[in-house]
Structure formats: C-alpha cells, structure tokens
Amino acid sequence: MTIAIDCRHLDFSGIGVYIQGCLPYFLNSNNFFYLIGNPAKLESFISGRKNVEVLDYRRRPFSLIELFFFPKKHLAKINKSDLFLSPYFNIPGGIKVPVYTTIHDIIFPDMPEIVSKMGLAMRMVFYRRAFSRSKKIFTVSEFSKSRIEHYSRGSVPVTVTYNAIQPWIQKQKKNGKEKRKTIVFIGNIKKHKGLDCLLDAFLLARAEGLEHQLVIIGRRNNLRSSDNSFLKKLDSLSPDTAFFTGYISNEKLVEYLSSAALLVQPSRYEGFGLPPLEAMVLGTQALISDIPAFKEIYDGFPVVFFRSGDSDDLKKKLLELLVEKCVKTIALPEHLLSKYTFQKTASIMLENMVP
C-alpha cells in the first residue's frame, strides 16, 4: 500500500508531537510513503529508508494556495497512492484518493470566544470540508469523538486513537529527582488554557503562605490586546515569584518537569492534554481541571482534580498539596506507563486505513 502523509505540521506543538510520534511506526510498516513537507525537517525520519519519498512543499497549512494551487507534480504522485492522511483538519485541493483525517479537538465552535467571527467562519469551512472529504476521522479521545459526531451529524465514521507520551521522555524517567519549590505550567495564555485562573489562585495561595515559584513554560508572543490586564498582573511580579521561560530545549523541559513540586494544568478545554502525563512519567504530581477530556484520559492515574475555572478551589488544592502535605514523587506503574503509546496509536491508524 502507498500512503501520502501531510507532514507540514511537524513544528506545531501538540499536532507536531503526534506526527513525530507516529511516523517511525508508520515507516516501519510494509508500506511505501510520500511525505509532504520540508526535506530537512524530515531527514531524521527518512535517513537510510527506501520505502519513502519526500515531496518538498513548505506552504503553511490552512491557506487558499493549498486549496486551489497545490503543486500538480505532487498531486500526480499523491493521486497514484492508495490513500492520503492529514494529521489535522486541512485537506489540500485536488486530492482524489481516499482521505483519512485526524481532528484533535473541535474547540473553535465549542469556544467561539477564543477566535474572531471571521476566524470561526473560516475554520468551519475547513471542518466541514474535512467531514465531507474524509473516509474516516481519527481523534484523540472519546470526548473529542462526541464533539466531532455532534458537528458532523454522524456523517463520517470516527475512531479514537489517543495521543501518547513521547518516547524520549519515557527514556528520561527521573523518579528520584530532588524536588524544588516550583509549580510548572505548560502552554500559552489563550483563554482555554486557564492560565489566568492559575495565576489568581497562585497569588491567593501566596498570600496564605505558599512559598513556591510559578514557572510558565511557553512563549509570551502572539498575544491579543485582551490579554493586557493579565500580562500587567504578571509583569508586576518579580521573577522570583513567576516567570515565562520562553523557548526551551527538550533537556531543559525535562529538568523543569522532573524537579518541580507540582504541575498544574488548569485548562478549560482540551482534546487530550499531554503535560500531566509527561509530568507524571518524570515523577511529578499533577493537579488538573475536571474537564471531560481530563476526567477520561486520566481516569485511574494519581492526579488531583479541581473545579475548572474555580480559582478558589484551585488555591485550596495548591495549599493542601504544597503546604499541608509533604510533596511526594510519583512513580507510575507499568500498566499506566504503557497505556498511551505511539506504537498503539499508529497501529490503530494503519489497521483502519484501507483504500
């Protein structure tokens, strides 16, 4: 079987992790692949392999150019393939073979306040196009499946594959790492990530004796004007109290996560949500919101939940875990360590993709 895969999302955060995790298992299968993207960024995946050819195309996804002017030389090869796999809900124009799509979440219509009316309208065009063009849609949780089925009105089959922990993090397990007085958050300041709720709870907890530092792992760019009040509050704090790390290496990410007393993921909406899993693999307790996806994904894991969007409840849990109790290192048992793997994810996808 010949499979064409859009790999232009390698640099995207969650979607990039998903592609990078699945690609090695795809390429180890008895299939031939056309990988669409930047050859330099794909080199580490294709080196020494004979069952793959890269189609050099570097236009960013979600553009009118990819819809109407996708290179004919690439389309000629894609349309001789057995199927096309898109890791997100954009599908280039001119593809005539069966299409399989991954939709990680359906956040834009579920939380329209995070995007402009024009932005929502454009995204709905791509969502609806994915619904109509896809032979099957893959997604990362039963929660996301239910939302996709709601908006697609059951017009396309949906299969849950789940996201997974990155293998290089599995290899960096540091369950004996000495804990520092730090609280880690991974993400950005967009409303659905809940960082505003965390900051309010953190400052309330500090007023009641919490001595820990808040470490925000992420970049401070691409902010909207509506974020100004939040940023002013954050800027009023000394770096000893809270700070953004900016871009950091994988090694530094492991260092921050494994040495933290606690990871807090206060998301108001997620399709899966990897940071709590990454933290626990590295021995760090996770305090997370009780949103549907988290309740599903982390069922049976040693996490602590708080009421989503409730800064008072989050403050209470911060004090209970970090002031009233001794911080403990998490050691996940094997059945939880192996619950979400990209080997399983890629296997499910390959089993479900038929011409």
Average pLDDT for residues 205-216, to the nearest whole number?
94
pLDDT digits 0-9 by tens, 211-246: 999 999 976 664 444 566 777 777 778 888 988 888
The more confident residue out of 40 and 237 is 40
Same domain, 146 and 205: no
Average pLDDT for residues 284-309, to the nearest whole number?
97
Same domain, 58 and 133: yes
Same domain, 273 and 330: yes
Contact present, 81 and 34 (Cβ < 8 Å):
yes
* Number of domains within the chain: 2
Phi-psi region of 222 (alpha: psi -120 to 50; beta: other; left: phi over 0): left
pLDDT at 140: 97
Same domain, 9 and 140: yes
Same domain, 127 and 178: no
pLDDT digits 0-9 by tens, 254-263: 999 999 999 9
Same domain, 89 and 218: no
Task: Give percent of the chain with pLDDT exceeding 70.
Answer: 96
Helix (H) or strand (E) holding 149: helix 142-152
User: In which domain, by residue range, is 31 found?
Assistant: 2-164+341-352
pLDDT at 220: 67
Same domain, 155 and 176: no
Same domain, 102 and 158: yes
Same domain, 61 and 126: yes
Same domain, 210 and 288: yes
Residue 299, domain CATH: 3.40.50.2000
pLDDT digits 0-9 by tens, 116-165: 999 999 999 999 999 999 999 999 999 999 999 999 999 999 999 999 98
> Residue 112 to residues 121, 126, 265: CA-CA distances in angstroms?
10, 15, 21
